[in-house]
Amino acid sequence: MKALPILGLTVLTLVIYMMEARHVKSVKVKATIGGISAVALTIGILLVYFPELPGPTDWVLPLFKPLNRLVGAE
């Protein structure tokens, strides 16, 4: 049942990549666009299967908690 959202994400990612890469002549830039698109697609697919995955703020806040204590923001 999750094949349709994954297919939609894949098609959308490919369309965005084709539209962006069409205007770029450099192979390095096209590879970078493709890599970023692949990472975004992977994250999207993971969120389809595991919607309870923590967001970026859930791991950034504990990372900077010692800095908050040092600055006195708590």
DSSP string, 12-68: HHHHHHHHHHTT---HHHHHHHHHHHHHHHHHHHHHHH-TT---HHHHHHHHHHHHH
As for how many domains the chain has, the answer is 1
Q: Structural domain of residue 65, as residue ranges?
A: 3-71
Q: What is the pLDDT of residue 74?
A: 61
Q: What is the pLDDT of residue 50?
A: 94
pLDDT tens-digit profile, the chain (74 residues)? 799 999 999 999 999 999 999 999 999 999 999 999 999 999 999 999 999 998 888 888 888 888 887 887 66
Q: What is the pLDDT of residue 20?
A: 95
Q: What is the pLDDT of residue 21?
A: 93
